[in-house]
Amino acid sequence: MLQSCDQHTKPFPGPFPNTANPMPQLMTQPVRMPLPWSRSCFVCGEENPLGLRARSFLVDGRVEMAFKPRQEYAGWNGVTHGGLVATVLDEVMTWAAIVHSEQACFAAEFSVRLRRPLPPGTNVIARASCDGGRRRVFETSASLESPDGEVFSTAEGRYMAIPKGQAVEMHNDLVSCDDCWPTAHIFGGGQT
């Protein structure tokens, strides 16, 4: 399902003539491109009534997602629950691994360092990049920062590519937009 996405700042930079896969060019272009989202995911799912409904973007070769935790996400009074922080960082690291590897990926393991309490209502940006990897396992890192650079949390993770058959099943849950990062070659079929 294609939808319009008005949260990006520049249109899709393609097409790239004579290129079956535009990803190498996209990773080096100065662009802010929306990433697809799902229907069911807690972080990005548009149909999840309890979810965050947050959107991730590919920004200059890394994944970014703006986030503002609500009071309902507190663990202790005045502090966003660490599990929610970990969930947000996992989301952006997953997409960083997918974008870098051009394969559907899931977390194999990740660790989060909670550097300072994150008060609910604070605007933050989750940023992640893929720092390398092998054919099926990819190393990622992420941070959760205020817009002025105050670091609340950092994370590192290892993400594994999943079998193509499973990726095709995941495709049915994805929602994309005309300007979204292309995923058809990763998840199979459709126009996402």
Full residue range of the structural domain in which residue 114 is found: 2-10+23-187
On the question of pLDDT at 191 being above 70, the answer is no
Q: Does residue 37 form part of some domain? A: yes
With pLDDT > 90 as the criterion, what percentage of the chain qualifies?
60
Q: Does residue 134 form part of some domain? A: yes
Q: Does residue 94 form part of some domain? A: yes
Identity at 69, one-letter amino acid code:
P
Q: Does residue 79 form part of some domain? A: yes
Domain count, the chain: 1
Q: Does residue 104 form part of some domain? A: yes
What pLDDT shows up at residue 152?
99
Parallel/antiparallel/unpaired status of strands 174-177 and 37-38: antiparallel
Q: Does residue 192 form part of some domain? A: no
Per-residue pLDDT of 35-63, as tens digits, reads: 999 999 999 999 999 999 999 999 999 99
Q: Does residue 15 form part of some domain? A: no
Q: Does residue 16 form part of some domain? A: no
The CATH number of the domain holding residue 179 is 3.10.129.10
| CB contact set of 117 (below 8 Å; sequence gap of 6+) | 78, 79, 80, 152
Per-residue pLDDT of 102-148, as tens digits, reads: 888 999 999 999 999 999 999 999 999 999 888 889 999 999 999 99
What pLDDT shows up at residue 189?
46
- Mean of the per-residue pLDDT values for the chain? 83
For the ranges 5-19, 58-72, 159-173, the maximum mean pLDDT occurs at 58-72
pTM above 0.85, yes or no: no
| CB contact set of 49 (below 8 Å; sequence gap of 6+) | none
